[in-house]
Structure 1
């Protein structure tokens, strides 16, 4: 399953050429990630931090008044990290493909923590096996973080 976030484009998001500034895409990914992880029914209330972002810019996104879709899914679940993949797109074109490695974090103890059983079950609902999504228990090549 994939999560869809309808991201509004703001006037301040564009550069001098009328395109959405490349740096702004990081904020768009953050908004989609928050919409995915922090919901009333399922969430990561114990906290998490971003360990890594990787972004491939495919095409310019011109500022407009309609939202752009951000589709996200889980591509890897490890003992103490997981990876989310994204596409920022319209039905007929992809503007950005990206990945984020996220580490669950205990802010009180100021250290990374393992993914809980409940969090793992939630993440598995959004795992996309076509992209090699896996869990360290089912993937021989995965190493616990």
Structure 2
């Protein structure tokens, strides 16, 4: 199952494998910087699909408003896939912040992607506040970060435990 329980909060995070493609690599045979955002997007799509199919809950419509990537380590052409662990770390009136840890085949952290995701009305395309049912789904994946962890540049010193390991 792609959902992993987070014992400290009683919530869960999502884990998915993203296969590397030939087009992900640059001329130096390392994953191109832009590919990390694609891995992040692929993982968000898997997250939504898995919530709908495995938990049988409707996911509120949202779009990415802002994204940041903190590159920790390069991924070489000897890798065949990365694993992306996704969770929500802050919820607002009409948005949430998601953190995604991207790991190589040895489970080493290679990048951290933070996004601000905004709720939208699918018909009008305008932003909207979260409903109670939206918050029920969102809060199932809420793993708050401390102040140091919430800043992308503080990722290395953070202490959030995901998958039994300190991040």
- Which residue of the partner structure matches residue 29 of structure 2? 18
Output the CA distance in 1 between the equivalents of 2:23 and 2:116.
Answer: 28
- Which residue of the partner structure matches residue 143 of structure 1? none
Inter-CA distance 4–115: structure 2 relative to 1 (3 Å threshold): same
Inter-CA distance 22–89: structure 2 relative to 1 (3 Å threshold): same
Output the CA distance in 2 between the equivalents of 1:87 and 1:65.
Answer: 17
- Which of the pair is proportionally richer in helix? 2
Output the CA distance in 2 between the equivalents of 1:2 and 1:47.
Answer: 19
- Which residue of the partner structure matches residue 31 of structure 1? 42
Higher relative contact order (CA 8 A, sep 6+): 1
Three-state SS of the structure 1 residue aligned to 2:16 is strand
Output the CA distance in 2 between the equivalents of 1:64 and 1:122.
Answer: 38
Contact 2:37 2:113 in 1 (8 A): no
Output the CA distance in 1 between the equivalents of 2:75 and 2:20.
Answer: 10
Contact 1:76 1:132 in 2 (8 A): no
Contact 2:73 2:110 in 1 (8 A): yes
Output the CA distance in 1 between the equivalents of 2:109 and 2:140.
Answer: 24
- Which residue of the partner structure matches residue 6 of structure 2? none
What runs of 5+ residues in structure 2 fail to find an aligned partner? 1-11, 148-167
Between 52-61 and 64-73, report the one with greater CA deviation: 64-73
Query: Which TM-score applies when normalising by structure 1?
Result: 0.82
What runs of 5+ residues in structure 1 fail to find an aligned partner? 134-145
- Which residue of the partner structure matches residue 63 of structure 2? 49
2:106 is the counterpart of 1:96: no
Q: What root-mean-square deviation, in Å, do the aligned CA atoms of Structure 1 and Structure 2 show?
A: 1.8
Runs of 4+ with deviation above 3 angstroms: none
Between 88-97 and 23-32, report the one with greater CA deviation: 88-97
